[in-house]
Structure 1
Amino acid sequence: MYQYVFSGLRVSSEFKFTIADCEAFDGLPDVTIRFVQDLEKPSNPIYSDDIVTAAAGDVWFCASDELAYRVIGGSEILIARGKHVSNADVNLYLVGTGFGVLCLQRDLIPFHCSAVEHNGHAVAFSGESGVGKSTLAAALSQLGYGHVCDDVCIANPTLTPMQVQPMPKGLKLWDDAAAQLNIAQGTRVSADPDFHKSYVSVDRADHAGGLLFNRIYILDNDIASEFSVHELKGAEKHAELRRAIYREEWLHFLQEPRKTFDLVSTLASKLQVFAFKRPDDLARIKESAGILARHFDDGAPE
């Protein structure tokens, strides 16, 4: 069994994570990860389709015909893999959907975001998949902002001030984005030859023990002719924060609706939320990073 302290959780795992570093700990683990031959689905499900079957505190999901996971009670992840499934693909879904579901079971909030460090705070960028979160974080890292996380950050909404625990998954870029930023590519994210994305190396922020968190930028998919940043308030802010939760489309069976509403309301009271619109032009990514860097310093948190 390998030991990790992963996003603030003590993890004991039969699987050697390909990104996180091992870190010994004393006492019992918070989370155990095991491989099994046969992975049963939860009994008495409240939701079921071809991809996911969910009961209270118990979620089964499949990534492919040969790879499935079951997340139980916020403390256990079971994995069934076929002989042709690569470690890269096991890792990809484990530290993505697997841990995202587990954290929601523990009443933690997994934000679907990338983030950099600014003056001791984590500044996050959220938006739909493919909108450019990782590319923007990589461009900001080239301006001297330490990289905090890619894809997921874990927030504890009960803490004041709120902090995030980065999920150390490594920064992933599409081939064209890495070429545009002139960043050398490393290990491929998936064994799928049609998945043109690789891990890249950037300077990381020192985030031992977590980082203060009170600002998030929503990257807009709408094509804009000019750059703009404006703060969101009220119902619009609430809706964007809900959409920023990892696997938001599964919330209807992962939590009671009232509980989700209360959690998002708590987040809204602790976070500034900004909409960032920019031209849909990869060649202007460094310009995008420069505009955001200037906005960081305009009204930056104390």
Structure 2
Amino acid sequence: MSGKEASRAVRFEAFGGPESLRVREVPVPQAGPGQIRVRVAAAGLNPMDWFMTSDSETAARFGLSLPCGFGTDYAGTVDQIGDGVSEFAVGDRVFGGALSRAVADYVVVDVAGTIAVGGEAHRTPDGVDDRTAAALAIAGCTAAAALAVVSPGPGDTVLVGGAGGGVGVFAVQLARLAGARVIGTGSASSAEALQALGAEPVAYGEGLVDRVRALAPAGVTAAMDLHGAETAQAARELGVPDGRITTIAGQIDGITPANGANAAPGAIEEIAGLVAAGQLRVPIAASFPVEEIQTAVELQAGRHVHGKVVIDL
């Protein structure tokens, strides 16, 4: 396919909510030196996608300007190789992240890049489908970073706030694989989904500390707050030391936040390997064709979906 032909990409012509998203025809991008072009099969949605494009001031903090793409997680097949690239070949299945430009027919990524700068690509293991692979990069890296802060293991009881969310489904399972007992906060409707992941469900909101005490009379030893600050504050009340508490959205003095950009090298490949081996399950809550991007983002932004929302391209 030549650069003169058109492809689809989701675009913002003005920052804002889902109503500002448009599917546009754009030229097919070309891979330059050190780059690969990926024909995207699926793109996974994350809260950061709509948070960082909600207004121009927030977007500027992430280095985004108009016209701007949307979505970061992608999976697909390499269909063009730039000069000097030997790590990948045409036909390789890959997944990764490309900041705010993944919901498109094609994404060009730097082989030596990062999610935030140039994009990144990893080989998709055999046995992992594109929808699942498209849900891995942001949530998997963020969960891995959170686990690295609190370092759960056998003998630990870990309180996970927002356990049924996109990052939570990874964090719960990774903590369980590390040998820890996991208590996960969620709504009443999420209890079954949390149990399926290996967590003991507890309702969030007023009275959380008392409910956790009743579930774990011997105490909680670590906590990951994957939603805001409520779980982290509860963990403090339960006697968890600050060094074994982390947040990904709330900022609390004395508590180390987890950032997926700081995940250990190889963390996402390790997670993909666990998925391929059937040891880690990635619940796909819903998938939508790209034409229904607004509906998909509205669903994901509601923060009540159990698992990942994926766009099919």
Q: Which has the higher contact order (CA 8 A, sep 6+)?
A: 2
TM value normalised by structure 2: 0.28
TM value normalised by structure 1: 0.28
The answer to which structure has the higher strand fraction is: 1
